Amino acid sequence: MIKLVITENEENQRLDRFLKKYFSGASLSYLYKLIRKDIKINGKRGKAETILNLGDELTVYISEDEVTNLQKSKKLQHSKKQFNIAYEDEHILIVEKPFGLLVHGDQTEKKNTLANQVVSYLIEKGDYRPRIERTFVPSPVNRLDRNTTGLVIFGKNNRALQTLNQMIREKDCVKKYYLTIVSGELKQEIHLKDKMSKDEKSNKVTVHKLSDAMDGKIMETIARPLQYANGYTLVEIELVTGRTHQIRAHMQKAGYCVIGDEKYGNAKVNRELKHRFGLSTQFLHAYKLYFNDAYEPVKYLSGKEVIAPLSSYMESIKKDLFVPKRIR
């Protein structure tokens, strides 16, 4: 028999999700059997969906040897810091993701990811101590494609992470803005709202009309032209929803392809810009976050704006393509 007391970084989560992290080497069927027969919360039986509160005492009726066998040892991958810090306090870290870096690992890269770099940074600072944390790991609440640059938010403790995830899910809590250059001269703001489907094999999104008889997810994008010349437009994109490849697919459907985008872009334009600038992937930068409405423990963020400037390389492309003429 072992006893576990729920800490601040473990509270407010379902019992089954806590156990899945704590007994990371156990199968789901084993965990649900454990919940039915061998676990009590404050002396009473619980259910998989029971929410754990601060100070709850879990009694698990298995031996310490069994516990050891069911836990995977933590393999922390130290990664050299490549990101810049846009904002940081005790609850939240907002970083500027560079080009070519994955937020999370995949089959091509598991060690050198933004998530691992952030964890390494927080360990070095002393803000995260993995030896005393049984289940919590600082994690991102929004994601960017490997070749999209810009702002990514991390929660530094469990309560902040849960709150930030809730804020991202709820419309208008956190407004996300991107800068991109598209082919074609967009002269008026456009508000795009459609359905989407995704081909998992090709990892490509198709945009459908709202009236189409299919069950695709809603995608909503607002595109505001900032500057146009010579067949190109610098556009501020506001993401109302956050779907896979949303900006790239939506702008293609609207007739204004993101430059450099091999998957959804204009091949002729891309060839010209690759020759001219060496641009070989999408020109897309998550440049601004606005916290319109924040909840505790990060309510103080309400009204805060965080901005990440374009990289020098992206700025040089922008300056070369446009004459200094603003339209608003």
- Same domain membership, residue 187 and residue 117: no
pLDDT of residue 202: 87
Res. 75 pLDDT band, cuts 50 70 90:
low
- Same domain membership, residue 187 and residue 150: no
CATH code of the domain in which 127 resides: 3.30.2350.10
Strand ranges inside the chain, DSSP E: 2-5, 39-41, 44-45, 57-60, 84-88, 92-97, 139-140, 149-155, 174-183, 190-199, 204-208, 217-229, 232-239, 284-291, 305-307
pLDDT of residue 39: 95
- Same domain membership, residue 109 and residue 60: no
Strand 149-155 to 284-291 pairing: parallel
Which 8-state DSSP code applies to residue 157? S
| CA 193 to chain CA centroid, nearest Å | 22
As a whole number of angstroms, the distance between CA 264 and CA 252 comes to: 6
State yes or no: pLDDT of 320 exceeds 90: yes
Position 79 in a domain: no
pLDDT of residue 143: 92
- Same domain membership, residue 156 and residue 188: no
pLDDT tens readout for residues 24-64: 889 999 999 999 999 999 999 999 999 999 999 999 999 88
- Same domain membership, residue 132 and residue 261: no
Number of structural domains (the chain) is 3
pLDDT of residue 85: 98
Position 24 in a domain: yes
Position 148 in a domain: yes
Res. 158 pLDDT band, cuts 50 70 90:
very high
pLDDT tens readout for residues 288-298: 999 999 999 99
- Same domain membership, residue 104 and residue 53: no
Show the domain range for 126.
84-169
Q: What is the pTM of this model?
A: 0.88
- Same domain membership, residue 317 and residue 178: yes
Which of 70, 94, 126 is the endpoint of a domain? Answer: 70
